[in-house]
Amino acid sequence: MLARLFPSEGKGFFEMFERHAEKTLEAAKLLQTMLTTPGDVAAQSRRIAEVEHEGDQITHNAVETLHKTFVTPFDRGDIHRLITRLDDILDLIEATSERVWLYKIEGPDTDAIQLSEVLVESVTQVHRAMTCLRNLKDRDGLLRICTEINRLENEGDTLLRSTLGRLFNGNRDPITVIKLKEIYDFLEDAVDRCEDVANVLEGVALEYT
């Protein structure tokens, strides 16, 4: 609906939202693979950094386009918040992969893998939401996706609490505990940023339909 109201101005923004979400999902899946079946972690981390750089370029282009566009498909502030919140997710994914490499985490960690699974599910829903944004006739469908993202954020919170409980009550050495806690926190923060995207989308859906 929005794309039809503003066909020339709106199309570019919607394409950038979708492309960024694709990059974010690609990076989330790469991170999950890195945690599940670690191989050359330096190479795996570099690949995620490359995807993050591609996402940064999309964000830069979106902000630049926003400054040059007279008529936007919806509120300028919402457009800026949406692309920057998407970029926050990708930044946290890249930061997580970098720490897995720098901290030389040995072998798969079950708790990190579980958190990465929630992250991939959340980013998958974010990607679905971006593809729905062009046509808001199915507003209820978009809102259902947002509700699912919120549910996954709650699941991530619960999982993090139980994960930290095991971490601090186990017999790992203090340095390993510090390293793993930071990785867990980054994973859960990335899930939180998915909820931030959902919150922006809920506002757009309710205001512009």
**Residue 193, phi then psi, degrees to nearest 5:** -65, -30
How confident is the model at residue 1, as a pLDDT? 46
Residue 10 pLDDT greater than 70, yes or no: no
Model's pTM, two decimal places?
Answer: 0.91
Q: How far apart are CA 103 and CA 80, in angstroms?
A: 34
Q: Is residue 135 part of a domain?
A: yes
In a domain, 103, yes or no: yes
The CA-based diameter of the chain, rounded to the nearest angstrom, is 60
pLDDT digits (tens, 9 = 90+) for 126-182: 999 998 887 777 788 899 999 999 999 999 999 999 999 999 997 888 999 999 999
Asked if the structure places residue 1 within a domain, the reply is no
**The CATH number of the domain where 199 resides is what?**
1.20.58.220
| Closest to 59 in 3D by CA, of 97, 86, 37 | 86
Measured CA to CA, the distance from residue 185 to residue 190 in angstroms comes to 9
50 domain-assigned: yes
The answer to whether residue 6 scores a pLDDT higher than 60 is no
Q: Is residue 37 part of a domain?
A: yes
Residue 193 lies in a domain: yes
**What mean pLDDT is predicted for residues 52-69?**
93
Domain total of the chain: 1
- Residue 15's domain comprises 6-207
- Residue 156, H or E segment: helix 139-168
Q: Which is more confident, 74 or 114?
A: 114
Q: Is residue 160 part of a domain?
A: yes
* More confident position, 75 or 182: 182
Residue 141: inside a domain = yes
Out of 4-18, 52-66, 173-187, which region has the weakest mean confidence (pLDDT)? 4-18
